Structure 1
Amino acid sequence: MTFFDPSTEDLDVPTIRKHAVRLAKAGLVGLVCMGSNGEAVHLTRAERKTVINETRSALVEAGFSNVPVIAGASEQSIRGTIELCKESYEAGAEYALIVPPSYYRYATGNDQTLYEFFTSVADGSPIPLILYNYPGAVAGIDMDSDLIIRISQHPNIVGTKFTCANTGKLTRVASALHAITPPSPLAPAQRKFPSTKTEANHPYVAFGGIADFSLQTLASGGSAILAGGANVIPKLCVQIFNLWSAGRFTEAMEAQELLSRADWVLTKAAIPGTKSAIQSYYGYGGFPRRPLARLSAEQAEAVAEKIKDAMEVEKSLPDIA
């Protein structure tokens, strides 16, 4: 997430840095800057570069140089998106997270135009791309598995974030592209079918896009999650992956049930509620930039109370560093 001074709405760089390190210490193995929860649409290009650079710098200084930074880098044009990818790379990002162009939705929302958009950006980007399938943010454009698999044949496209929450689609893509997946006694040792991707410099990554289907992502052959809820409850997210990897399915289900209930509270409260939860439990967080509303004291208290059970488990789990 991106944090701001509550009075001026200027970037709160010390808090941005502190937050990144807290998440890395909790065990997250990659961080997203300038995604949906990062309020990228509220920032200038210069501010975006600052957030990416400060996040990368904070991780390195804290001993987490191996934790990659994924940067949202979407514009409406191919040219503009490539420029953002280059700026993100210069600021320290290792990957770019890209949504479909949607302002001219009825001209750009067809399969061929989307294919040309993503592959052209991949041609010009200095860093690998992760497709971001989030229909709610792009006027309902929802790429199906056939299109994602076709686009992902490009060697510089290395993953997809499924915020569509369609686990069937995730399964088909993960299977076709041999997405990397955590080893577990609960999962097959190898994929049943050969990969459709013949040229790859990087293992494909199939991300669940919401924390409330973390375990379902793994059971579907997925790789990991990129989820806003991990800003608040990172160690519980990591715990589900650890339990899956250890073959402890019943405990993983119990943890997922707890996470799903808390994540639904955060999803309904959106960015203002997520920031208020961070404020309630970690002493920082503040408010989003306007025009996003600020929660009242009563609303913030209600969010904190509704995620209390998950937060008690979160507090009981150790940091990794």
Structure 2
Amino acid sequence: MNGTNGTRPQRPLKAGINVPLVAFFHPETEDIDIEATKKHAIRLAQAGLTALTVQGSNGEAVHLTREERSLVTSTVRQALDSAGFEHIPIVVGCAAQSVRESVLLCKDAYNAGGDYALVLPPSYYKAAYTDKVLLDYFLNLADESPIPIVIYNYPGAVAGIDLSSDHITTLAKHPKIVGCKLTCGNTGKLARIASAVNAATSTSENSGWMCMGGSADFTLQTLIAGGSGIITGLGNVVPKACVRVFDLYKAGKVAEAQKLQAIVARGDWAVISGGVAGLEAWYGYGGIARRPLPKPSQEDVAKYKDMLKEVVELENSL
């Protein structure tokens, strides 16, 4: 199902935990912080992730120029390869409002070392978008992109557009549409899709199609529903804890997984409610977003640090 782009071997996506990297900027200039990006990518890979994502929501794709997007992708690829993680695929956010620009971003992603494109539906002219328009957007993009497509269903980021299970299972028939990320949090939808596409799971590759949840606070629910894993922003802070929930479920230790899932869910609330401001407090880098996103106050950092304390303690014990 993962296929090949015809010019280089395709790193396969596997069931597990995928983390969308936060964007790192120098606080004085807002330039991309290359060294922090490398350091963070390697730290995440060492935690046992099955893939990394760049230019996701946490990666501030909407704040990056086309050149900066390619720079981040190539930096992460080089960092992974240099540290012995050549096998880890990179999923690259390539959403745009037109098929033409999305295809361009997919080509850039491929040239920079990306393996898959994570794509939101277009939303600016929402009133004009019928079901057919939305389906054709993804089908046309898959036809023209040099890398396979992962559908990103995140209504909060696209004026409320919420792809249904019927939409996604229809799109899954295209050989170059190989997965989805459901940040809608609808586990019923996830279960319907996973069953329809015979999704990869923690214990079986099945069709290889990746049906991914979009938040660590429902990792266990996703796996029980037949999903493939999670693409989670919380993993920027506690990647090993996120991986541990997956591994415990895979090993059949559901009761233990449930206990850790509760801790992870409480920690994820800090990220959901306030972003990853706690990252800087805990690890000494990151935490500064590009304007107009606000810089967290000392009170904010203290608040999120307190909210993350329990799950960070879990991370440090693993």
TM-score relative to the length of structure 1: 0.91
Across the aligned residues of Structure 1 and Structure 2, the Cα RMSD in angstroms comes to: 1.2
8 Å contact kept, 1:5–1:286: no
CA distance in 1, matches of 2:210, 2:30: 35
CA-to-aligned-CA distance 1:167-195 (integer Å, 9 cap, x gap): 00000001000100011xxxxx898xxxx
Q: 2:208 aligned to 203, 209, 214, which one?
A: 203
Q: Deviation per CA, 1:147-170, whole angstroms, max 9, x where unpaired? A: 110111100000000000000000
| Counterpart in the other structure of 1:106 | 127
Determine whether 1:299 maps to 2:300.
yes
Could you say what secondary structure the match of 1:160 adopts? strand
Q: 1:83 aligns with which of 104, 121, 133?
A: 104
Q: Secondary structure at the match of 1:254?
A: helix
Q: Is the 8 A contact 1:72 1:97 kept in 2?
A: yes
One of 172, 176, 185 as aligned partner of 1:165: 185
Match of 1:146 in 2: 166
Preserved contact between residue 182 and residue 213 of structure 2 (Cα < 8 Å):
yes
Q: Which residue identity lines up with residue 154 of structure 1 in the other structure?
A: H
| SS of the residue 1:307 aligns to | helix
Task: Tell me which of 34, 37, 47 is aligned to 2:55.
Answer: 34
Task: State the 1:116 CA deviation.
Answer: 0.5
Judge conservation of contact 2:149–2:176 (CA < 8 Å) in 1.
yes
1:122 — aligned with what? 142
Conserved? CA contact 2:120–2:151, under 8 Å: yes
Amino acid at match of 1:69: I
Other structure's SS at 2:92 match: strand
The match for 2:45 among 17, 24, 39 is 24
Contact kept? 1:6, 1:286, Cα under 8 Å: no
1:37-82 CA-partner distances (Å, limit 9, x unpaired): 0000000000000000000000000000011100000110111111
CA shift, 1:286, in A, is 3.5
Task: Work out whether 1:264 is the aligned partner of 2:269.
Answer: yes
CA distance in 1, matches of 2:163, 2:125: 16
Name the CA distance, whole Å, in 2 between partners of 1:298 and 1:18. Answer: 27
Question: Contact 1:101/1:138 (CA < 8 Å) preserved in 2?
Answer: yes
Can you give the 5+ residue segments of structure 2 that lack an aligned partner in the other structure? 1-21
Distance 1:218 1:291 in 2: 37
Greater relative contact order: 1 or 2 (C-alpha under 8 angstroms, separation 6 or more)?
2
Any idea what the Cα deviations from partners look like across 1:201-223, whole Å, max 9, x if unmatched? x7200000011001111001000
CA distance in structure 2 between the aligned counterparts of 1:286 and 1:37, rounded to whole angstroms: 11
Helix, strand or coil at the partner of 1:136:
helix
- Paired with 2:263 and 2:287, the residues of 1 have a C-alpha distance of 25
TM-score (norm 2): 0.92
Inter-CA distance 182–53: structure 2 relative to 1 (3 Å threshold): same
| Over 4 Å off, 4+ runs | none
Deviations along 1:223-266, whole A, 9 cap, x unmatched?
01101111111111100011101111111001000000010111
Distance 1:314 1:9 in 2: 30
Corresponding residue number in structure 2 for 1:311: 312
